Chains A and B, each alone.
Chain A
Amino acid sequence: MRLLGPDTTKRLLDRIVPVPGIRRMLLNGQNIPLVVPYGPARGAKNETNLRKSIEIAGNIVDLHVQVGTVTLEIEDRSVIDQIRAICDDFFVDFPCYVQEGKFMKTQPSLVDYAKYGPGADPSIIGLVDPKRKEQPSIIHPHGDRVCGGCEL
């Protein structure tokens, strides 16, 4: 298993996003900082091609991480087979795991309550660190909207 670059991530997501039945999507991986965070060069711009904006289904998404895990919230189990087929077809140079389980927070935690209050949007919970100022990206796939759009 490997960490994916932005271009590979885009190619993978271009295949995954149009699959019907995906409610939410979370990309996890190692953070690529905008500036050098530590050391004598602290504050200098971090010149890298690992952090860039990619276009997914016609939507521009700022990728902050080098992607290692894609977590999907799906509507029913039939989606898993489609995702597994896509992954088997896509990952030919190195292997990948498709695991089934509950990997995303569904109930608001105390920190979520402190941040969003009692009327929190359930589609936001678990997608983004409550302390983060940026909101998740909303993706509207081309054509028919899939479950109201995927959030990335």
Chain B
Amino acid sequence: MTARRPQYGPGTSVVAVNRRNQMDPGHKLTVVRSITDEDIVLVLGHRAPGASFKTMHPPLSEQQEPDCPMRRLVKPTEGAKHGDRVRYVQFADSMFNAPCQPYQRTYAEMYRFRAIDPGTLSGRQIVECRERDLEQYCRLLIETEMFDPALVSLRGATVHGHSLRLSEDGMQFDALQRCVLGKDGIVRYVKDQIGLPLNRPVDVGKPLGQAWLKGHATIFHSLVGTALRDDREYVEYLQRIHTLRTRYGFVPKEA
């Protein structure tokens, strides 16, 4: 008898496969670009590069921890060990085939990361955790196939853009224009995620193009991507959930 393998989600379409790949912590996501630690710190804007992490409590090693079986079972993350303060990163994902989407992002992070507190909204997703852990998680979120420089952006505030038309250069609308597409085709962050200008631009690489995006989308879109109705298994699953929720809302009596 084989061990149970989690399914992560239904569907046979490329969107369903991409969703499962992102959620499965056993699946190694393709690294598409590289970004330095300093660049991550700059874009997040929580501390100056090279500055020490601010703490909100002494390191756990210096504290008198009670003898608790749960504490023995759950090992603290590096950020928790050092007593780091809790900081955040927020992403806005365009519905025009951005490689990750807010709900998907939360699912993927919950499967892959520890000690996080995600907040999911229709067009943006915020995740809070200890600062040291946050910078590590950001590396994965920016360097891998979950990020596209044109259609995914880090936006701490003034996030509007998810459901809007793209700009003429293919960039997601951003009222604060935190990232700019250069004439050399490279996207550079000129502001941190809350909109304060950076001392130097942060290079996040070239947009990956419509063909790549269509193959790596995690959102159904009948006009620019894969239509939900083309994935019969997904539709069947959604209809089943909808039926059960409706039926059991009335608390039926089993025969």
Question: What residues make up the interface of A, taking CB atoms closer than 8 Å to B?
Answer: 1-5, 8, 30-33, 36-42, 44, 46-50, 66, 68, 93-94
Q: In whole angstroms, how far apart are the Cα atoms of A3 and B194 in the complex?
A: 23
Known interface pairs A40-B194, A41-B195, A47-B191; A30-B160 also in contact (CB < 8 Å): yes
Q: In whole angstroms, how far apart are the Cα atoms of A94 and B164 in the complex?
A: 15
B176's partner among A3, A4, A46, A68 (CB-CB below 8 A) is A46
Which residues of B157-184 are within 8 A (CB) of A?
157-158, 160, 164-170, 173, 175-177
B86 to chain A, nearest CB (A): 15
B158's partner among A3, A8, A39, A49 (CB-CB below 8 A) is A39
Which residues in A have their C-beta under 8 angstroms from that of B165? 1-3, 68
Which residues in B have their C-beta under 8 angstroms from that of A2? 165-168, 170
Q: In whole angstroms, how far apart are the Cα atoms of A1 and B96 in the complex?
A: 12
Known interface pairs A30-B160, A39-B156, A44-B195; A94-B168 also in contact (CB < 8 Å): yes
Q: In whole angstroms, how far apart are the Cα atoms of A36 and B173 in the complex?
A: 15
B196 to chain A, nearest CB (A): 5
Of listed B169, B175, B197, residue having the most chain A CB within 10 A:
B175
Asked if residues A36 and B168 are in contact (CB atoms below 8 Å), the reply is no
* Top 9 A-B residue pairs of the complex, sorted by shortest distance between their CB atoms: A39-B157, A48-B177, A38-B157, A2-B168, A36-B195, A41-B195, A41-B194, A39-B194, A41-B196
Which residues in A have their C-beta under 8 angstroms from that of B164? 3, 30
Which residues in B have their C-beta under 8 angstroms from that of A4? 168
Which residues in B have their C-beta under 8 angstroms from that of A66? 167, 173
A36's partner among B157, B167, B169, B170 (CB-CB below 8 A) is B157
A78 to chain B, nearest CB (A): 29
Q: In whole angstroms, how far apart are the Cα atoms of A42 and B191 in the complex?
A: 14
Asked if residues A3 and B195 are in contact (CB atoms below 8 Å), the reply is no
Asked if residues A46 and B195 are in contact (CB atoms below 8 Å), the reply is yes
Asked if residues A8 and B168 are in contact (CB atoms below 8 Å), the reply is yes
List 15 A-B residue pairs with CB atoms under 8 Å apart, sorted by A's residue number: A3-B166, A3-B167, A4-B168, A30-B160, A30-B175, A36-B158, A36-B194, A39-B158, A40-B157, A41-B157, A41-B195, A44-B196, A46-B177, A46-B195, A48-B176
Asked if residues A38 and B158 are in contact (CB atoms below 8 Å), the reply is yes
Q: In whole angstroms, how far apart are the Cα atoms of A5 and B160 in the complex?
A: 17
What 12 new A-B contacts, CB under 8 Å, besides A2-B168, A40-B157?
A3-B166, A5-B168, A32-B175, A38-B157, A39-B194, A46-B195, A47-B191, A47-B197, A48-B175, A50-B175, A66-B173, A93-B168
B170 nearest CB neighbor, chain A only: A2
Which residues in B have their C-beta under 8 angstroms from that of A93? 168
Asked if residues A49 and B177 are in contact (CB atoms below 8 Å), the reply is yes
Q: In whole angstroms, how far apart are the Cα atoms of A23 and B177 in the complex?
A: 34
Which residues in B have their C-beta under 8 angstroms from that of A68? 165
A1 nearest CB neighbor, chain B only: B165
B167's partner among A5, A33, A40 (CB-CB below 8 A) is A5
Which residues in A have their C-beta under 8 angstroms from that of B156? 39-40
